[in-house]
Structure 1
């Protein structure tokens, strides 16, 4: 298995190359991809006046949503590894008066604490499974939280209940150049947190308390536009950089190939229904006895 330093370097390079695709499709992903994190945001219930950290903020849509919830006296800080995504987030959500969310570029695995700490709550949509060293990243998150603060995150379960990312990649790959290596075992990737027992062990090792992991099934509804949906899923996936490097004819073939494998999720005239199987992860940083942690949605 690749060592942690090499995995971190690979992660940094991958997300630097991926950032232009995510920035290009930021509005689309905010709209269609919202169900991927909604259950965590519903559980977290950010309140006015709170300081909230968004780990893996991407192009900032989730951080902006949190900022609206905690306004006017609270604050939301988005952290992401990719400078290109943080730049896009600032362009999209920055305000001349300095109000609204703020964004920080950094590797959560190597920070002592996230700038802006301590936080009352931490949110993360589909990011924890991408850590090269999960215990290191989770430990930084815990250190960045005040005593009694709460964490809510979503990650994918396994590939069987999330079939569309592979369909988009496999449909596009034959028409593009070399793709990044697929993750092995617990290496960072979409299904690295599929094993709930392992995930619990990682959170425990990082010092979290009251850990719960519950399954949720959601659906992403996308418009009936095969070419646009195929391009979106290619560009935010592992084939994104190779797609952008390809010539126009190859990109057209890649879109067509992805669209063919995504056809089973499409109803002509109605659009796409992309099923997603998630884990909702909740926990808190141990604090003073009697600290009240706001209740969220009930576990299934």
Structure 2
């Protein structure tokens, strides 16, 4: 098994290379990708004057949404490991329009607490699953919350309920150069928290209580623009850096390969409907300064019908 330090170094290198694609598609990611975080955004219910931490803020769209919710008397702090994305976030969302917004480039796993703590709540859209040492990262989040502060996050469930991720990768990869190592087992990646028992164990070890994990199905609605949709999904995925390094002919072939495998999600003249299976995670920060060593608290697993209409 690869040690945490190696995984952390690999993560930093990956996000340095991936940043360009995320920056290029930031507006599309905010708009089409919003359902991936909408259940958590609704549940965190940020209120005026609150202090909210956005973990894995990327190019800042979710932090801006939180900043609007907390208003001029509140604070929304976005933190991300990719310095280039944080720079882009600052350029996209100025304090002139969002008075309480702040951004910091940092590895959440190596901080004691996030500057600006304590926070009333922490929000995270599809980022916790990408931590090299999730216990360390979640411990920092817990320390950065006031006692009883709430954590609300989304992560992917498993690959079977997120088939478009595989379709994009399998369609593009044969036409590109070497790709980064694909995650194995519990290594950081889209499905590292597919098992809710592991997710519960991580949060409990980090000092969270009252953990609930709810399956949640959403749909990403993308326009009927096959080439553009394929390029977006390739660039924000594991093949993004290899795609940008490929010659134009290789890029065109990669897009065409992805388009072919994504066709089953397309309704001609309407667009793409990409189904995503998530876990909606909620928890409360324990009051101790160190992670709790008590017996695991009761965990609630909810089942809910598929959501065909998303925000």
Is 1:114 the counterpart of 2:114? The answer is: yes
1:53, 1:122 within 8 Å by CA — same for their partners in 2? yes
Equivalent residues of 1:179, 1:238 under 8 A apart? yes
**1:72 positional shift:** 1.8
Aligned length in residues: 291
Map 1:127-138 → 2, pairs under 5 A = 127-138=127-138
The equivalent of 1:209 in structure 2 is 209
User: What is aligned with 2:79?
Assistant: 79
Paired position in structure 2 for 1:36: 36
- After TM superposition, give the deviation of residue 148 of structure 1 in Å: 1.3
- Alpha-carbon shift at residue 99 of structure 1 (Å): 1.9
Label 1:286 to 1:178 Cα distance change in 2 as closer, same or farther (>3 A).
same
Give the aligned partner of residue 308 of structure 2: none
Distance 1:97 1:268 in 2: 39
Distance in 2 of aligned mates of 1:29 and 1:63: 14
Alpha-carbon distance in structure 1 between the residues aligned to 2:163 and 2:79: 28
Q: Which residue of 2 aligns with 1:172?
A: 172
CA distance in 2, matches of 1:15, 1:101: 23
- Between the aligned partners of 1:144 and 1:81, the Cα distance in structure 2 is 17
What is the TM-score with the length of structure 1 in the denominator? 0.95
Name the structure 1 match of 2:299. Answer: none
Instruction: Confirm or deny: 8 A CA contact 1:64 1:100 kept in the other structure.
Output: no
Structure 2 CA distance, aligned partners of 1:272 and 1:130?
26
Deviations 1:164-210 (CA, angstroms, capped at 9, x unpaired): 11111110111110000110110000000000011101111111010
Aligned to 2:67: 67
* 8 Å contact from structure 2 (residues 152, 280) kept in 1: yes
* 3-state secondary structure, aligned to 2:147: strand
Q: Deviations over 1:47-95 (max 9, x none)?
A: 0000000000000000000000000200100000000110110110023
Partner residue, 2:227: 227
Instruction: Report which stretch shifted further, 96-105 or 72-81.
Output: 96-105
Q: Which residue of 2 aligns with 1:196?
A: 196
Matched, 1:181 2:197: no
CA contact (8 A) 1:67 1:76 kept: yes
Q: In 2, distance between residues paired with 1:180 and 1:124?
A: 24
User: 1:57–1:63: 8 Å Cα contact kept in structure 2?
Assistant: yes
Deviation at 1:299, TM superposition (A): 7.1
Per the TM alignment, residue 287 of structure 1 is displaced from its structure 2 partner at its CA by 4.8
Alignment correspondent of 1:246: 246
Task: List alignment gaps of at least 5 residues for structure 2.
Answer: 289-301, 305-311
Separation in structure 2 between the aligned mates of residue 106 and residue 175 of structure 1, nearest angstrom: 34
Q: How far apart are residue 119 of structure 1 and its match?
A: 0.2
DSSP-derived class of the 1:147 partner: strand
Between the aligned partners of 1:256 and 1:17, the Cα distance in structure 2 is 23
Cα distance in 2 for residues equivalent to 1:107 and 1:166: 28
Q: Distance in 2 between matches of 1:187 and 1:98?
A: 36
TM superposition shift of 1:286? 2.7
Alpha-carbon RMSD across the aligned residues, in angstroms, is 1.3
User: Matched residues in 2 for 1:173 and 1:226: separation?
Assistant: 17
Q: Secondary structure at the match of 2:72?
A: coil
Aligned equivalents of 1:224, 1:215: Cα separation in 2: 28
| C-alpha distance 98-129 of structure 1, shift in aligned 2 (>3 A) | closer
Q: Distance in 2 between matches of 1:96 and 1:48?
A: 18
User: Any conservation in 2 of the 1:94–1:100 contact (CA below 8 Å)?
Assistant: no
In structure 2, what is the Cα distance between the partners aligned to 1:100 and 1:130? 27
Q: How does 1:93-104 map to 2 (within 5 A)?
A: 93-96=93-96, 99-104=99-104
Q: 2:269 — aligned with what?
A: 269
